[in-house]
Structure 1
Amino acid sequence: MATPGRTAIGTPASEPAPRRELAVFTWKVLIVAGVAALALFLWRVSGTLLLIFTGVLFAILLQRLTGYVSRFTGLGHGWALAIVLLLLVLLIGGGGFLMGQSIASQVDQLREQITTAVGALPDSWRERVTEQSRNWPWMSSLSSFASGLAYMVGDLVVVMFAALYLAASPGVYRRGVVLLVPPAGQDRAREVMDVTGEALWKWLIGQLVAMAVVGLLITAGLWILGIPSAPALGMIAALMEFIPLVGPFLAAVPAVMIAFAQSPQDALWVAGLYLVIQQIEGNLVTPLLQKRVVDLPPVVTIGAIAAGGVLFGILGMFLATPIAVTVMVLVNLLYIEDKLGERRHFPSS
């Protein structure tokens, strides 16, 4: 004979429906709260995550260059990495020294031009400009600039050390990430990491080639036009080419301003030069590179740059495209292939 609360075979009776509904609702609330807490945590540490992602990009560059040097010279991974680092230090240090000298001379020239322009103003205007310059809170601005520079140097140190550790022992960190995945999915995790790394490397190669081409063309064009600081402006154009669509317009601003200080006609010639070179890069260089590198849809690129700039500022704009590449790879592998069972379309083989 069955007793209250138990079935005829002696097992506990099923839980009342209201209690089951309360348990399900409680679990839903906890899941939502957990997701919200995780999103808030990621948002608070987003700056650190972007720096780590920058370190990963630089580590991919170092690791690939190290592999090429190792195969060419027969040296071990450590010695090959040391050679790559030495060459990069010499390249960046030499370029920074030349750019610093050019910028210093340009600043002196610009100061002289501003002084001459102020002296040519009418007396009432010159007195007003002089009075405004005296009241300008230069100490506060200098303090803000120094603080921002200190933060930038600190971020650069974090990126460099992260990249060095990742490039020196990539297998250690790769195994650590794979161990976070259940054993049944570890092979797939390795494949996803390999495809993502290859896609980011292809994107880096295409970006570096485009940057070099734009920098050389801008330098040569400005030198022909007789614009001061052509190498420095060419380097700025090459660096800003890292930001698709928006970067070339930002790079043209200082060049046009310097040219306008010489004459309005020079400013028009410089603006036309940047426009022509941007058309060459967009219609000739980039399409040729995209046959062998990662090709993101334009809408994805524009949306990523806009979102990165709004959410994370200038660093978000710089990293918007590689982050979009990573997201596209994950969506294609983990959703289109694994969930939908269809063939992935990105990155192209």
Structure 2
Amino acid sequence: MVQAKPRPARKPKAAPPPAVLHAGPSDIADPLLRTEFKRAAVWIGLAAALALMVYLAQPLLVIFGGMVFAAMIDGGARLIGRVLPIGRLWRVGIVLLLTAAFLMWTAMFAGSQIAAQAAQLPATVQAQAIKVLAWLHAHGAVVDFSSAQGLIEKAAGSIGQLTSALGNVIGGVTTAFGIVVLGIYFALEPQLYRRGFAWLLPLGEREHFEGTATIMGHTMRRLMAGRLLGMFLEGVSTWLLLAWWGVPMAALLGLLTGLLAFLPNIGAPISGALMVLVGFSVGTSTGLFCIVVYLAVQIIDGNVVVPLVAKHTADLAPAVVLGMQLIMGTLFGLIGLMLADPMVAMIKVALERQSLRNETG
């Protein structure tokens, strides 16, 4: 039997020579030029991001407003949790129900009275301001009545807009509705949104973000709790004292005082001026009583409530807060003015955390 001869092993084919890659028109061969190009790309991207933020400033401000409202809800839920050992969702629901009940009570029982008083307030303020100008002129002051009266009419119109804005807020404006809805979502599941945002960051930055977000949330809750406490005390005490003396429009003045207390450095002088003008429209003794009420309320709030709150929150410099209010109010109107103080507090926390990181890092 003839055996088949084994076939000789085939030699492996030589690998084809590597293709020569030529630089394209967009390739940068010079390492120094490549580094500079990357730097330029970073700066261009940063400028584009800032331009996008400016373009989307209003929606971003609404989102931040939702976070502020969520801090209020969360603070109320935590406060209820100290008394009632129930789940978080139930506590958040109780806070929302109490808020809705307060707004309904204001609209149903106090709404008609406040609306009638709001219609009288601009005319009262205008008449009293003209009397003040006449008094100054009688005592030797040079007063241009035509120009001053135009300014007074504009100011009275602004007061009318303020009181009408109060009704719009109670009734529900689109911006306020968006803030409320976002705040409810944020308050129901805060960890969900915090984890989602942290996931977008690099791994090395997530721990620092978690610590900063925790401190920001604590500061925001304390800040809003103190602000709501001050609003409640100023509004209720002003209303009761003015009503006891028989000052007209006591309910409206108390409500405006409470709402304007949300704006530190700006709200108190405005509410005080309105209160004093209405008081002097009745008589000298009533006007002097309104001055005493304003000073007493502000002294108690400034020497008791504010220091107590400042111990547990970001101790903000009044000049910095006022400057931020002027900038935000000019750019975004009333909503910017209302959110200026919380924004300064959050920026301060972020800067302090970054400074501590740089010192220990």
Q: TM-score, normalised by structure 2?
A: 0.72
**Alignment match, 2:60:** 49
Larger Rg: 2
**Alignment match, 1:81:** 92
Q: 1:304 aligns with which of 324, 330, 348?
A: 324
Opposite residue 75 of structure 2, the aligned amino acid is: R
Are 1:65 and 2:76 matched, yes or no?
Answer: yes
For residues 193-208 of structure 1, what are the structure 2 equivalents within 5 Å? 193-208=213-228
- What is the CA–CA distance in structure 2 between the aligned matches of 1:277 and 1:267, rounded to whole Å? 15
Opposite residue 359 of structure 2, the aligned amino acid is: L
**Alignment match, 2:192:** 172
Structure 1 range deviating more: 243-252 or 305-314: 305-314
Q: Percent identity among equivalent residues?
A: 27
Q: 2:116 aligns with which of 97, 105, 122?
A: 105
- What is the CA–CA distance in structure 2 between the aligned matches of 1:64 and 1:110, rounded to whole Å? 35
- What is the CA–CA distance in structure 2 between the aligned matches of 1:236 and 1:332, rounded to whole Å? 35
**Alignment match, 2:10:** none
Q: 1:182 aligns with which of 183, 199, 202?
A: 202
Tell me how far 1:228 sits from its aligned partner: 1.7
Relative to structure 1, the CA distance from residue 113 to residue 216 in structure 2 (aligned partners, 3 Å threshold; closer, same or farther) is closer
Q: Please list every run of 5 or more consecutive structure 1 residues that lacks an aligned counterpart in the other structure.
A: 1-16, 118-140, 343-349
**Alignment match, 2:50:** 39
Are 1:317 and 2:337 matched, yes or no?
Answer: yes
Relative to structure 1, the CA distance from residue 29 to residue 203 in structure 2 (aligned partners, 3 Å threshold; closer, same or farther) is same
Contact 2:234 2:297 in 1 (8 A): yes
**Alignment match, 1:291:** 311
Are 1:326 and 2:326 matched, yes or no?
Answer: no
**Alignment match, 1:339:** 358
Tell me how far 1:107 sits from its aligned partner: 4.8
Relative to structure 1, the CA distance from residue 276 to residue 77 in structure 2 (aligned partners, 3 Å threshold; closer, same or farther) is closer
- What is the CA–CA distance in structure 1 between the aligned matches of 2:79 and 2:357, rounded to whole Å? 34
- What is the CA–CA distance in structure 2 between the aligned matches of 1:301 and 1:171, rounded to whole Å? 29
Opposite residue 282 of structure 2, the aligned amino acid is: Q
**Alignment match, 1:281:** 301
Are 1:29 and 2:29 matched, yes or no?
Answer: no
Deviations 1:233-252 (CA, angstroms, capped at 9, x unpaired): 11211111111111111223
- What is the CA–CA distance in structure 2 between the aligned matches of 1:19 and 1:108, rounded to whole Å? 74
- What is the CA–CA distance in structure 1 between the aligned matches of 2:124 and 2:233, rounded to whole Å? 32
For residues 243-258 of structure 1, what are the structure 2 equivalents within 5 Å? 243-258=263-278
Opposite residue 300 of structure 2, the aligned amino acid is: I
Q: Please list every run of 5 or more consecutive structure 2 residues that lacks an aligned counterpart in the other structure.
A: 1-27, 129-159
Relative to structure 1, the CA distance from residue 178 to residue 110 in structure 2 (aligned partners, 3 Å threshold; closer, same or farther) is closer
Deviations 1:47-96 (CA, angstroms, capped at 9, x unpaired): 11111111111112212322343453333232332222111111222123
Relative to structure 1, the CA distance from residue 280 to residue 80 in structure 2 (aligned partners, 3 Å threshold; closer, same or farther) is closer
Contact 1:211 1:239 in 2 (8 A): yes
Contact 2:74 2:221 in 1 (8 A): no
Contact 2:247 2:279 in 1 (8 A): yes
Opposite residue 357 of structure 2, the aligned amino acid is: D
**Alignment match, 1:14:** none
Relative to structure 1, the CA distance from residue 182 to residue 109 in structure 2 (aligned partners, 3 Å threshold; closer, same or farther) is closer
Tell me how far 1:106 sits from its aligned partner: 2.0
Opposite residue 73 of structure 1, the aligned amino acid is: L
**Alignment match, 2:18:** none
Relative to structure 1, the CA distance from residue 20 to residue 215 in structure 2 (aligned partners, 3 Å threshold; closer, same or farther) is same
Contact 2:223 2:309 in 1 (8 A): no
Tell me how far 1:211 sits from its aligned partner: 1.5
- What is the CA–CA distance in structure 2 between the aligned matches of 1:110 and 1:323, rounded to whole Å? 32
**Alignment match, 1:211:** 231
- What is the CA–CA distance in structure 2 between the aligned matches of 1:108 and 1:237, rounded to whole Å? 17
**Alignment match, 2:262:** 242
Opposite residue 265 of structure 2, the aligned amino acid is: L
Relative to structure 1, the CA distance from residue 32 to residue 287 in structure 2 (aligned partners, 3 Å threshold; closer, same or farther) is same
Q: Which runs of 4+ in 1 moved over 4 A?
A: 107-114, 148-152
Deviations 1:97-130 (CA, angstroms, capped at 9, x unpaired): 344222233256569989x99xxxxxxxxxxxxx
Deviations 1:200-251 (CA, angstroms, capped at 9, x unpaired): 1111122122222211221133123321221221121111111111111122
- What is the CA–CA distance in structure 2 between the aligned matches of 1:111 and 1:36, rounded to whole Å? 46
Alignment size in residue pairs: 299
Question: What is the SS of the residue equivalent to 2:316?
Answer: coil
